Amino acid sequence: MNSIITYLLLYIQYLEKELSTLLLFISKNIPLRQWQFDDSNSPKYHKLKIDKLPRVLKFQQQDYRFLLAYYQERYQKTLTPVQRRPGKDIPTDTCCPRCQAPHQYIYDNNGGNGQFQCKVCKQTFVTGEKVQKPITLACPYCGHTLTPKKHRKHFRLHKCVNKKCSYYLRHLKKLPKDLPVTDRHKYKLHYIYREFTLDFFAMDLLSLPKRASSFKFRKQSAHIMGLALTYHVNLGLSLRKTAQALKEVHNIQISHTQVAYYAQTASAVIKPFIDHYDYKPSNQLAADETYIKVRGLNGYVWFIMDIVSRSILGYQVSDNRGVGPCILAMRQAFAKFKIFPGKDLRFVADGYSAYPLAAQQFALHENQSFDVTPVIGLSNDDPVSKAFRAFKQRIERMNRTFKASYRVTCGYGTEDGATYGLNLWVTYYNFLRPHKLHNWKRPLNEVDSLVKADNMPAKWQMLIFLGQQTILQQQDQTLP
């Protein structure tokens, strides 16, 4: 009996030793924690990351007499004026714009070309200017002043050019050992900050279109307008096909231009209702963008979808793939929350850098902090993509539904046409289209007045009425 117990104890000790060896091997060779936004920590994915905000150094007016007294108190000696060489004098009316130090304390900083430096406060300035930089942006890693490198349409790109910056040195070590020096520009090595020159949080999301038809029907009626919207939006017919269907099926003579005016007016009136409807959103959202054609050029449509209810909360048409329209779509979606969930929000998107950059701007301007969960590529190469692939697939499926209705248009003729087409399609998707989530028996969101309507033209008329009521409520709230 004693020999069996001794044997088992020795076997347990052997197994414990083997387990320790395996755990040591795993900890050295297999990463137990996959980085959320970095695919295997590869430097070629580093350009998809958004750096943290820089340090903002505001300009502060100072008094040179106080600084001289402080220097005397701290170092127990007097700060002497500048000793100039013969022929190196500067104008006697030169003074520091920061501390008002007289010319006795001013250096000629660039050999008589107009740049000076104050010996008291170390401020560099040019003759005639009051302040060189009212606000200075500094690198959060090394404190070096950021240098503006590029000026784009809506932002300026600032870069830390300090070769001794810890951020630069850390990412320089991650480059392949055999990489030529001339190929380093293909990787992101320096700290970069985008300073936006346009305030996307001050834009009006409910602006009316330039061209719109009134509801004073002279030859037609509201029912004909509902018929036109049914053929054009629900059945996905083009403007000309809609006019042809009204003529051949209902014997209604109407031009395709008038159908476009009806659609544009209905879009402007219904949009406030669908934007202010209480969707009761969950804390799980997914975002994606897709391509469209506007006047033969590439345009983009941005969608933000509630994964639980499948409702579209944010949507935007843009002529560029920048961060601006992404912010506008997020503003539409986040306005549906009565209380913003903050860090509890699960926001899933692809690896495009516009989404984390927009999240950074929301934290900066709106004090709304949330994390973006990226699902990169088409295959589950990392645990994050594997866990949230279903989120991305649902919004991709919704994108295909939109593309099926968009394809018959062969591209939009104007940006306004693309905008009102998207507004009407979102209205149809959220309130009129039977959805698979409910076994194709009812739409995503049920409104009592829409349920009571007998046919689809009546439902469109009721949506227009609800939109008018929403506009009147907004006007009453803005009145003093």
Task: Write the CATH number for 425.
Answer: 3.30.420.10
The answer to whether residue 455 sits within a structural domain is: yes
pLDDT score for 36:
42
Residue matched to tokens 């106080």: 66
pLDDT score for 165:
92
**Whether 117 and 155 share a structural domain:** no
Question: Of 179, 196, 213, which residue is a domain's last?
Answer: 196
The answer to whether residue 25 sits within a structural domain is: no
**Whether 92 and 164 share a structural domain:** no
Question: Of 88, 103, 126, which residue is a domain's last?
Answer: 126
pLDDT score for 244:
93
**Whether 474 and 447 share a structural domain:** yes
pLDDT score for 439:
86
Beta strands (DSSP E) in 86-230 are: 106-108, 115-118, 124-126, 135-138, 147-151, 155-159, 192-196
The answer to whether residue 255 sits within a structural domain is: no
pLDDT score for 34:
44
pLDDT score for 231:
92
**Whether 116 and 192 share a structural domain:** no
Structure tokens at 226: 């509902």
**Whether 355 and 436 share a structural domain:** yes
Residue numbers of the domain that contains 326: 273-478
**Whether 120 and 179 share a structural domain:** no
pLDDT score for 279:
92
The answer to whether residue 391 sits within a structural domain is: yes
Question: Of 126, 144, 167, which residue is a domain's last?
Answer: 126
**How many alpha carbons lie under 13 Å from residue 478 in its C-beta half-sphere?**
6
The answer to whether residue 438 sits within a structural domain is: yes
Bridge partners, 292 (sequence order): 299
**Whether 302 and 376 share a structural domain:** yes
**Whether 122 and 139 share a structural domain:** no
The answer to whether residue 207 sits within a structural domain is: no
**Whether 48 and 96 share a structural domain:** no
Alpha carbon of residue 443 to chain centroid: 29
The answer to whether residue 283 sits within a structural domain is: yes
The answer to whether residue 35 sits within a structural domain is: no
The domain tally of the chain equals 3
**Whether 179 and 294 share a structural domain:** no
Q: What string of pLDDT tens digits covers the 480 residues of the chain?
A: 667 788 788 888 888 888 888 877 776 665 544 444 444 466 766 776 778 888 877 767 788 888 888 888 888 888 888 888 877 788 888 888 888 888 889 888 887 777 888 888 887 777 655 444 556 788 989 888 888 888 887 788 889 999 999 999 988 888 888 888 888 888 888 998 888 777 666 666 655 555 555 566 666 778 888 899 999 999 988 889 999 999 999 998 999 988 888 888 888 889 989 999 999 999 999 999 988 888 888 889 999 999 999 999 999 998 888 888 899 999 999 999 999 998 889 999 988 888 988 898 898 888 888 988 888 877 777 777 788 888 888 999 999 999 888 877 777 888 888 888 899 999 999 999 999 888 888 898 988 888 888 899 999 999 988 988 888 887 777 655
**Whether 114 and 182 share a structural domain:** no
Instruction: Kindly give the residue spans of alpha helices, DSSP state H, lying in 251-343.
Output: 256-276, 323-334
3-state secondary structure of 188: coil
Task: Tell me the whole-structure pTM to 2 decimals.
Answer: 0.70
pLDDT score for 132:
46
**Whether 113 and 146 share a structural domain:** no
